[in-house]
């Protein structure tokens, strides 16, 4: 992510967290299809914590990676259940995140901000943290006519023009097979914005683990109420 794009999220963390908290629908509608119930899922670019909180409420063992410290703070303020579950880490390399530690990866509204040179490394980074057979759910922005965004917006953020087709080609080179593609309206009600969603499955991965804690030895699943042993109850 380039400096101006990261600065936008750093300086507007509180405003953006409140705005995203009001979004409806979106990528969360695909969680049941994308991830095994109770599976360990990494939300890359966890942002305001909204989707990570939804994962926890739905019974998944959710964790997050987010480069913006201010957004991590807002996420923990808005959603107490995510406290201690978001690591300050970012694409392309996802430093400190364990190899093969996750059953699924979520990457919503993130990949479009990466420079072209970072995209290929990011696909490799996502592949690295997934277990063999793990799933990857991703969303990309489109304009009102269904075209990818490219260039800078009025706020100075970079959009790389990544299309669903380009994403599928890049992931296929790293052992991902497409399981489905959809298009949604905008959760914030913007007429000039739509979202392309894709679901993929990985056929191969590496080994090892660093984060989350006990990732290598503890392949547990959450109980029916969605709360891992030893943790407080998630408020609904």
Domains of the chain, earliest start first: 3-202 (3.40.50.150)
Task: Report the pLDDT value the prediction gives residue 220, as an integer from 0 to 100.
Answer: 36
Task: Report the pLDDT value the prediction gives residue 136, as an integer from 0 to 100.
Answer: 98
| Between 96 and 159, residue with greater pLDDT | 96
pTM: predicted TM-score of the whole model, two decimal places? 0.81
- Average pLDDT on 17-25 reads 73
Distances (CA, A) of 100 to 60, 61, 76, 130, 176: 17, 15, 26, 4, 14
Q: Is 232's pLDDT higher than 80?
A: no
- The mean-pLDDT minimum among 80-84, 105-109, 228-232 falls in 228-232
Task: Report the pLDDT value the prediction gives residue 225, as an integer from 0 to 100.
Answer: 37
| Between 226 and 90, residue with greater pLDDT | 90
| Between 97 and 13, residue with greater pLDDT | 97
Measured between alpha carbons, how far is 57 from 196 in angstroms, rounded to an integer? 24
- Average pLDDT on 91-113 reads 95
Task: Report the pLDDT value the prediction gives residue 40, as an integer from 0 to 100.
Answer: 98
- Average pLDDT on 21-41 reads 89
Q: Is 176's pLDDT higher than 90?
A: yes
> How many Cβ atoms from other residues are within 10 Å of residue 231's Cβ?
13
Evaluated on CA atoms 8, 188, 140, 128, the torsion sign reads: positive
Task: Report the pLDDT value the prediction gives residue 230, as an integer from 0 to 100.
Answer: 41
Task: Report the pLDDT value the prediction gives residue 228, as an integer from 0 to 100.
Answer: 40
- The mean-pLDDT minimum among 90-94, 143-147, 185-189 falls in 185-189
Mean pLDDT of the chain: 82
Do you know the residue count of the chain? 236
């Amino acid at each position: 992510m380039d400096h101006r794009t990261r600065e936008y999220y750093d300086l507007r963390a509180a405003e953006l967290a409140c705005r995203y908290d009001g979004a409806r629908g979106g990528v969360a509608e695909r969680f049941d299809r994308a991830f095994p119930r109770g599976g360990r899922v990494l939300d890359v670019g966890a942002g305001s914590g909204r989707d990570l909180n939804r994962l926890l409420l739905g019974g998944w063992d959710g964790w997050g990676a987010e480069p913006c410290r201010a957004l991590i703070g807002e996420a923990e303020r808005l959603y107490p259940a995510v406290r201690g579950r978001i690591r300050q880490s970012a694409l392309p390399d996802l430093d400190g995140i364990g190899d093969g530690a996750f059953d699924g990866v979520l990457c919503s509204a993130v990949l479009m901000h990466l420079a072209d040179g970072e995209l290929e490394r990011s696909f490799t980074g996502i592949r690295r943290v997934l277990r063999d057979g793990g799933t990857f759910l991703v969303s990309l922005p489109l304009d009102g006519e269904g075209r990818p965004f490219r260039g800078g917006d009025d706020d100075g953020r970079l959009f790389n023009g990544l299309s669903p087709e380009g994403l599928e080609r890049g992931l296929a080179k790293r052992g991902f097979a497409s399981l489905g593609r959809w298009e949604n309206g905008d959760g914030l009600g913007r007429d000039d914005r739509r979202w392309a969603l894709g679901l993929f499955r990985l056929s191969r991965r590496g080994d090892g683990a660093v984060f989350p804690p006990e990732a290598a030895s503890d392949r547990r699943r959450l109980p029916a109420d969605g709360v891992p042993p030893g943790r407080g109850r998630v408020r609904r």
